[in-house]
Chain A
Amino acid sequence: MNDALSLTVETAADHHLVRLSGVFTVHDLPGAEPRLAAIAADRAVLLDLAALERLDTAGAWALDRLEARIAEAGFTLETQGAAPHLSALMRRVDAAIPTPDLPEDTGPKGLTGRLDAIGRRVVDMGKHGGVFLNAFGMFLYRLGQSLRHPSRFHLTALVAHCEDVGWRAVPIVSLLSFLIGVVLAFQGATQLRQFGAEVFVVDLIAISILRELGILLTSIIVAGRTASAFTAAIGSMKMREEIDAMQTLGIDPAHALFVPRILALILMLPILGLVANVMGLLGGGIMSYLVLDISPGIFLVRLIEGTDVSNVFVGLIKAPVFAVIIGVVGCNAGMQVGSNAESLGRQTSNAVVQAIFAVIVADAIFSVFFAEIGL
């Protein structure tokens, strides 16, 4: 900006003479606005723009506002000496000054508004449950169809998803369950040593890992890893209208996208759970040896004698159920993605939260159930 704006106001008996020279752009607005606002609307205004070289829409807007203020007080504002392109710009800005619409009705306020919002939330939650059940039903229906017509089944997709959700999750699942085994052994040892019952640490590790922690931990990792991936993949396809394209080509999205993904989870989650069990026991065994001097031999004997094999089945039988929950939540959230990037992000985080929540609720229900039937 080589030419600064200069603004002078001379007050005569019947008018203010406002003289502008130099350049009046948006960068000069913060300085000029208060000075324009300071011009009292008590007499007519004569605006001298003869020395004004450049004006942008922001400057024209400020002058237009001055004019509106003067006109409101019942006086006139006259412009003199403006170059043709400046007055053309001022006319265009004046024509474009927006008039606010009537404020929209934002609904009831106060207590009624709160109740209204709660009511809407409850209805939304109900609808959400319905949508989830619908997705689940759709998956079962398409799975049944695939079983009846195996030739139409997307085997390649299934194998690819198995690799993605199963094989690639092995390192992180192994590492975390190994560490959980280590933690259990260490915590158990310090507590049980007080009673001289160190050897029971084997039972503690075995039962808690085989029955609960192995599969629960795996499911939570998979929910975080895979549910979000499903949502992001299906959601971005939804955003780019790929899902719509599939439907017009006679490909059912539930058949092409849901079935291979969820089936891959159902096949892989028990295997991952088994890996987690083995690694958890290994971690616990190593820690028992190091801290409690329980030799691997004793650990093994104690493990086989003290822990019933039913614990393993109680743990692993939950895996397919968790797999269906994670898969349906992830795929369904993907289908809920709208046409903007923000909803993709929101649905992805929703999917993870909902999947973990649902898995833990299902686990609690299983615990009560197994306790009731005495397993």
Chain B
Amino acid sequence: MTEERDVVIRLRGIHNQFGRQVVHHDLDLDVYRGEILGVVGGSGTGKSVLLKTIVGLQTPQAGEIEVLGYDLRRGGEEARDKVDDRWGVMFQDGALFSSLTVRENVEVPLKHVPDLDPGTRAALADLKISMVGLSWSAGDKYPSELSGGMRKRAGLARALALDPDIVFLDEPTAGLDPIGAAAFDQLIHGLSRSLGLTVFLVTHDLDTLYAVCDRVAVLAEQRVLVSGTIEEMGRVDHPWVHDYFHGPRARAALTAKGET
């Protein structure tokens, strides 16, 4: 891309600490409009904490968070209200409301739109359910009646209900079988391209990284160690990054990508 890239999430000097355990220190990160950013890191490097910090579920001890041009640390309620409708979050196991059907779950964010009549709301929910690849009959089911993969899809449908600018996905392919995981990767990629989504994706899955991510950010040593395309990651001279992108699994994922 030649033009100046539009930054939708800008983190500066984030400091997160639980008791004496410092999770993030002086962490900077930029996420550009329309890209799929994969966030990787070893267990306990605070990938999920970082996601929660951006969406406001975790207040950092220090630092600046700017999303879509709004300062979320200083802007208070007003800034949060502005961005709340413009992002969607898919939690690890979907985090669907268990007392509501899938359709009702997807309708929850749509209730924020004033004057939308119930018939249209249900039709839009059905459209979203269909777009994430669930069958019509899934809409009437309760989350407990769905498999893990279907719950994740339903969670994604809820996250996409308002056509947000940014979606946050926490381990979208964890616990899925390889075929289901590959289908989910394709789904994320296709949706992000046709809807112009910016995707912030926390993952452990190398296949997902190779298949869908435009850029990768590696969390290590309490900050974003490096960020760049996956090809650039291969050239980074850091033991953890090197092991991660040159291990047997990474090679397998790379070969798999070459074949498709």
The verdict on A56 contacting chain B, using a C-beta distance below 8 Å, is: yes
Q: Which of B98, B131, B163 contacts A340 (CB 8 A)?
A: B98
Chain A residues whose C-beta falls within 8 Å of the C-beta of B193 in the assembled complex: 88
| B2 contacts partner chain A, Cβ-Cβ < 8 Å | no
Does B142 have its Cβ within 8 Å of any Cβ on chain A? yes
Q: Which of A26, A30, A98 contacts B126 (CB 8 A)?
A: A98
B154 to chain A, nearest CB (A): 14
The interface size of chain B toward A, counting residues with CB under 8 Å, comes to: 31
CA distance A89 to B136 in the complex (A): 21
Identify which of A25, A27, A93, A99 contacts B136 (C-beta below 8 A).
A99
Contacts of B143 in A (CB 8 A): 340
Does chain B have a CB within 8 A of A58? yes
**Which residues of A are found within 8 Å of B123, using beta-carbon distances?**
61
Total A-B residue pairs with C-beta atoms closer than 8 Å? 74
Q: Please, which residues of chain B bring their CB within 8 A of the CB of A89? A: 194-195
Query: Within the complex, what minimum Cβ distance (angstroms) separates B191 from chain A?
Result: 8
Chain B's closest residue to A26 (CB) is: B113
On whether A57 and B113 interact (CB within 8 A), knowing A25-B163, A33-B120, A101-B135, the answer reads no
Interface pair A26/B124, CB less than 8 Å apart: yes
Task: Give CA–CA (A338, B127) in the complex, Å.
Answer: 30
A339 within 8 A of B: yes
Residues of B near A101 (CB, < 8 A) are 135-137
Knowing A58-B163, A100-B136, A339-B144 are in contact, say whether A29-B116 is a contact too (CB < 8 A). yes
**A12 in the interface (beta carbon within 8 A):** no
Residues 78-122 of A, flagged 1 when their CB comes within 8 A of B and 0 if not, give 000000010011001100111111001000000000000000000
Tell me the complex Cα distance, A27–B128, Å.
16
* B196 adjacent to chain A (CB < 8 Å): yes
Is A342 part of the binding interface, using a Cβ–Cβ cutoff of 8 Å?
yes
Inter-chain contacts of A27 with B (CB < 8 A)? 113
- Known pairs A27-B113, A33-B120, A57-B163; A96 contacts B131 (CB<8 A): yes
Q: Are B124 and A61 in contact (CB under 8 A)?
A: yes
Residue of B nearest to A104 (CB): B137
Minimum CB–CB distance for B45 against chain A, Å: 26
Given contacts A30-B116, A89-B195, contact A341 B98 (CB under 8 A): yes
Chain B residues whose C-beta falls within 8 Å of the C-beta of A100 in the assembled complex: 136
Interface CB pairs A-B, < 8 A, 10: A26-B113, A26-B163, A33-B120, A58-B163, A96-B127, A98-B129, A340-B98, A340-B143, A340-B144, A341-B98
Binding site for B on A (CB under 8 A): 25-27, 29-31, 33, 56-58, 61, 85, 88-89, 92-93, 96-101, 104, 338-343
Known: A26-B110, A339-B144, A340-B144. 11 other contacts (CB 8 A): A25-B163, A26-B116, A26-B163, A57-B124, A92-B131, A93-B131, A98-B130, A98-B136, A101-B135, A340-B98, A343-B144
